[in-house]
Structure 1
Amino acid sequence: MGDPELEALSRDVDEAVRVRARLVQDVLSLGPARAAREHGVTRQTAAKWAQRYRTGGAARLSRPAHRRRTTLELRHATLTAPLWMPTTKWSSRSIADALGVSQSFVARAWEAMRAGTAFSADLTAATAGRQPAVLGLLVTAEYAVLACQLTAVPRGQDPAPRARVDPAVHRSLRTVLASELVRPQVPATSPADTRPFWDEVVDAADPDATLMTLASQEAPVPAEVSVRGVCRDVDEWLSLFPLLLGWGPLLPPASALQLEGELRSWARGPRRAFTWVRPATGTARSRGSAARSPVRHLGPERALADEIVGTIRQGIAEGRIAGGDRVTERFLAGRLRTSRAQVRTAMRLLERDGLLTITTGHAAVVPVLTRSDVVETYAARRALGALVIRAAVRWSPQERQSVAESLDALERCAATGDVHRTGEADIAFQNTLAEASGLVRIAPMLEVLADHLRVFIAVMGLEYAYPIDAIVRDDRAIFEAIDTGDGEVAVERWRRKIDDAATYMLGQLPATRSRPSGST
Structure 2
Amino acid sequence: MSDPQLEDLSRDVDEAVRLRARLVQDVLSLGPARAAREHGVTRQTAAKWAQRYRTGGAAQLSRPAHRRRTTQELRHAALTAPLWMPTTKWSSRSIADALGVSQSFVARAWEAMRSGTAFCDDLTAAAAGRQPAVLGLLVTSEYVVLAVQLTPVAPREDAAAPARVDPAVHRSLRAALVSDLVRPGVPAISAADTGPFWEEVAEAADPGATLMAVASAPAPVPAEVSVRATCRDVGEWLSLFSSLVEWGALLSPTSALQLENDLRAWARAPRRAFTWVRRPSRAGGGRGPATRSAARHPGPERVLADEIVLTIRQGVAEGRLAGGDRVTERYLAGRLRTTRGQVRTALRLLERDGLLTITTGHAAVVPVLTTNDVVETYAARRALGTLVIRAAVRWSPQERQSVEDALDALERWAATGDVHRTGEADIAFQNTLAEASGLVRIAPMLEVLADHLRMFIAVMGLDYAYPIDAMVRDDRAIFEAIDAGDGEVAAERWRVKIDDAAAYMLRQLSATRSRPARRP
TM range (shorter): 0.7 to 0.9
The answer for unaligned runs of 5 or more in structure 2 is 515-520
Q: Is 1:399 matched with 2:402?
A: yes
Equivalent-residue separation in structure 2 for 1:5 and 1:481 (angstroms): 47
**TM-score scaled to structure 1, two decimals?**
0.86
Residue 292 of structure 1 and its aligned partner are, at CA, apart by 9.6
Amino acid at match of 1:83: L
The equivalent of 2:11 in structure 1 is 11
What pairs up with 1:55-134 in 2 under 5 angstroms?
56=56, 58-134=58-134
TM-score, length basis structure 2: 0.86
Partner of 1:302: 302
Where does residue 372 of structure 1 map in the other structure?
372
- Alpha-carbon offset, residue 23 of structure 1: 3.4
Hey, what does 2:262 align to over in structure 1? Answer: 262
Q: Which amino acid aligns with 2:238?
A: L
Secondary structure, counterpart of 1:361 in structure 2: coil
What is the CA deviation profile of residues 73-117 of structure 1, one whole-angstrom value per residue up to 9, with x for unaligned ones?
222211111112112111111111111122122112111111222
Give the drift of 1:480. 5.9
Compare 172-181 and 263-272 and name the one that shifted more.
Answer: 263-272
The correspondence of residues 150-229 of structure 1 with structure 2, limited to 5 A, is: 150-155=150-155, 157=157, 160-229=160-229
Give the letter for the 2:96 counterpart: A
2:359 paired residue number: 359
1:48 aligned partner: 48
The aligned residue for residue 518 of structure 2 is: none
1:484-499 aligned within 5 A: 488-499=488-499
Identity over aligned pairs, percent: 79
Report the Cα distance in structure 1 between the residues aligned to 2:4 and 2:401, rounded to whole angstroms: 34
Moved more, 308-317 or 102-111: 308-317
Contact 2:414–2:468 (Cα < 8 Å) also in 1: no
Tell me what 1:458 maps to.
Answer: 458
- Aligned AA (2:409): S
Q: Could you report, residue by residue, the CA deviation over 1:300-356 in whole angstroms, capped at 9, with x for unpaired residues? A: 100100011112223323444333333322222122111111111111111111012
**Does the C-alpha gap of structure 1 residues 467 and 230 become closer, same or farther in structure 2, counting only changes over 3 Å?**
same
Contact residue 411 and residue 472 of structure 2 kept, 8 A: no
Alignment of 1:252-331 (within 5 A): 252-282=252-282, 284=286, 296-331=296-331
Q: CA deviation at 1:443?
A: 3.5
Structure-2 change in CA distance of 1:66 and 1:486 (3 Å):
farther
Distance 1:259 1:190 in 2: 24
Flag the 1:148–1:420 CA change in 2: closer, same or farther, 3 A. closer
**1:402 aligned partner, one-letter code:** D
Distance verdict in 2 for CA 1:301–1:103, change over 3 Å: same
Q: CA contact under 8 A between 2:407 and 2:475: conserved in structure 1?
A: no
Question: Could you tell me how far apart the structure 2 residues matched to 1:187 and 1:230 are?
Answer: 22
Going from structure 1 to structure 2, the CA distance change for 1:464 and 1:323 (only over 3 Å counts) comes to: same
2: distance between equivalents of 1:47 and 1:55? 12
Instruction: Specify the alignment match of 1:517 in structure 2.
Output: none
SS of the residue corresponding to residue 211 of structure 1 reads strand
User: Against the structure 1 CA distance between its residues 176 and 327, is the aligned structure 2 distance closer, same or farther, given a 3 Å change threshold?
Assistant: same
Cα deviation, residue 412, structure 1: 4.5
Judging changes above 3 Å, is the alpha-carbon distance between structure 1 residues 470 and 321 closer, same or farther for their aligned structure 2 residues?
same
Counterparts in 2 of 1:370 and 1:15: CA distance versus 1, 3 Å: same
CA drift of 1:153 comes to 3.4
Query: Do the aligned partners of residues 486 and 218 (structure 1) sit closer, same or farther apart at CA in structure 2, a change above 3 Å counting?
Result: farther
Note the C-alpha offset of 1:359: 3.2
Aligned 8 A contact 1:136 1:201 in 2: yes
Runs of 5+ unmatched residues, structure 1: 515-520
Q: Distance in 1 between matches of 2:2 and 2:300?
A: 27
Corresponding residue number in structure 2 for 1:518: none
Shift of 1:492: 3.5
Change over 3 Å in CA distance of 1:342–1:156 after alignment to 2: closer
1:12 is aligned with what amino acid? Answer: D
Counterpart Cα distance in 1 of 2:294 and 2:144: 24
- Taking the aligned partners of 1:421 and 1:6, their CA distance within structure 2 comes to 20
Mean Cα displacement is larger for which, 359-368 or 228-237? 359-368
Q: Is the 8 A contact 1:384 1:446 kept in 2?
A: yes
Deviation at 1:67, TM superposition (A): 2.8
C-alpha separation in 2, matches of 1:9 and 1:437: 41
Give the direction of change, closer, same or farther, for the CA distance of 1:133–1:186 in structure 2 (3 Å limit). Answer: same
d(CA) in 2 for partners of 1:156 and 1:493?
57
Q: Give 2:187's aligned amino acid.
A: P
- Measure the CA separation in 2 of the matches of 1:170 and 1:221: 26
Query: In the superposition, relative to structure 1, how do residues 41 and 432 fare at CA in structure 2: closer, same or farther (>3 Å)?
Result: farther
Offset, 1:408: 3.6
RMSD: 3.2
